[in-house]
Amino acid sequence: MLLFYITIAGMTINYTRENTMPTFRLPHLLLLHVIACVVLLSTVTAAYAKDDDSHYDRISLLATASDEVDNDILEATLSVYREGSNPSLLSEEVNSAIQWAIGEAKKVSGITVQTLGYQTNPVYQQQRLSAWRVRQSLRLESKDIAKLSQLIGKLQERLAVGRVGYRISAQRRNSVEESLIAETIALFQQRAELVVKQMGRSRYRVVQMTIDTGGAPMQPMMRAEMSAMAEARVSPSFEAGAQTVRVSVHGTIELQLD
């Protein structure tokens, strides 16, 4: 075995032919480990200090704008429900009523029709099967409230009204939200400039900003109106009304030094 030593900067490295990797003596290995830890700690400390300094003079602001927007879509859900001992016969009755309702709806222009979940459930009494329940629903929507109102009155001959509500169409909501976003950002900038002035600074930068447009809720009818409409079995009268569309801007600014 050929053994030789190389000394570099006071540190001896031992080489052999069989092992081409250098073998450090234990004291030097400990010294290298300590040096590495010191360098790493210094780097982390410097980074933390720099990050901590960057968080000085940060202020959170909130700006909100809203508008009243008329609902332009009426949406209704109607259902057919049967209960009995013969599930096949019940299914035929439910399917027949739904197909009839779809046919009536397609006779009216401007009405969107969608069938919903079909359910068949067993009914138990004293842990014994006593009957079956079959149910299916239909959802209708339209911008022509008068036409949909008349159709609902017609469909009540064989279906029950489940839910009726109003909402804003996606096109109208998007248009209103875009206008409100521009208004809200302008208000945010105005408040930021006010803060800068009051704090005796000349400029700022935006660190973070979030724009919240909320959701697209539907305004349901009151339960009393629903019950009266179902009992009367006539074409109901609807008033679309309006909803408040709101946009909020949450942000953080950082005051800059002159």
Q: pLDDT tens for residues 178-216? A: 999 999 999 999 999 999 999 999 899 999 999 999 866
Please name the residue that has the structure tokens 């004293």.
126
Equal fold, 57-72+168-223+237-258 vs 74-167:
no
Select from 1.50.10, 3.10.20, 3.30.110, 1.10.1660 the CATH code of 57-72+168-223+237-258: 3.30.110
For the chain, which residues make up each domain, given as ranges? Answer: 3-53, 57-72+168-223+237-258, 74-167
Burial of residue 160 (number of CB atoms within 10 Å: 0-12, 13-18, 19+): middle
Specify whether the backbone of 241 is left (phi greater than 0), alpha (psi in -120 to 50) or beta. Answer: left
Token reading at 162 = 């489940």
Q: What is the CATH number of domain 74-167?
A: 3.30.70.360
Q: Which of 219, 97, 238 is nearest to 155 (CA)?
A: 97
* Whole-number pLDDT of residue 80: 96
Q: What is the pLDDT along the chain (258 residues), one digit of tens a residue?
A: 444 444 444 444 454 454 444 544 545 555 555 555 545 555 545 554 455 555 678 999 999 999 999 999 999 999 999 999 999 999 999 999 999 999 999 999 999 999 998 999 999 998 899 999 999 999 999 999 899 999 999 999 999 999 899 999 999 999 999 999 999 999 999 999 999 999 999 899 999 999 999 866 666 654 445 555 555 555 666 777 889 999 999 999 999 876
* Whole-number pLDDT of residue 24: 47
